């Protein structure tokens, strides 16, 4: 049986991140409050806090994105989930991916050492034909 100890010592370390749901990061605080009230939900970030607690207890880092995404969405009045005509629902849209990517990079970079990074340089003028 593989344990957390096995993963820590024999497999590359994992750095979980908790994504967001559309309602968590809805740009309108009144809509979020209405959702909480209508659904008898006490905390939109409850799942995030549970994963953070697990990471703290087991000793692995966790990035929770929803609080940062909510602050950004509210301050900019921007939907980070969904596409017209269903803004606020479904997966991240372009704005959501862009902001989340910036936050992930900002969080992850200090945790990596140069020896963990493998950087290759493409010859000038070459193009990458696929991301996969």
Mean pLDDT for 27-56 is 95
Domains of the chain, by residue range, sit at 7-109
On whether the CB atoms of residues 1 and 60 are closer than 8 A, the answer is: no
pLDDT of residue 79 exceeding 80, the answer is yes
Structure tokens at 104: 């992930």
On whether the CB atoms of residues 103 and 63 are closer than 8 A, the answer is: yes
pLDDT confidence band for 122 (50 / 70 / 90): low
Percent of the residues in the chain that have a pLDDT greater than 70, as a whole number: 73
pLDDT at site 95: 96
pTM to 2 decimals?
0.73
């Amino acid at each position: 049986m593989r344990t957390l100890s096995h993963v820590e010592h024999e497999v590359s370390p994992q750095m979980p991140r908790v994504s967001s749901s559309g309602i968590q990061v809805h740009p309108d605080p009144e809509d979020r409050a209405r959702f909480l009230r209508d659904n008898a939900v006490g905390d939109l970030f409850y799942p995030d806090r549970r994963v953070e607690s697990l990471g703290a207890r087991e000793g692995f880092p966790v990035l929770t994105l929803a609080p940062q995404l909510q602050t950004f969405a509210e301050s900019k009045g921007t939907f980070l989930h969904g596409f017209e005509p269903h803004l606020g629902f479904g997966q991240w849209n372009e704005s959501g991916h862009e902001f989340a990517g910036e936050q992930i990079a900002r969080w992850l970079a200090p945790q990596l050492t140069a020896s963990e990074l493998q950087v290759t340089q493409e010859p000038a003028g070459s193009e990458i034909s696929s991301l996969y």
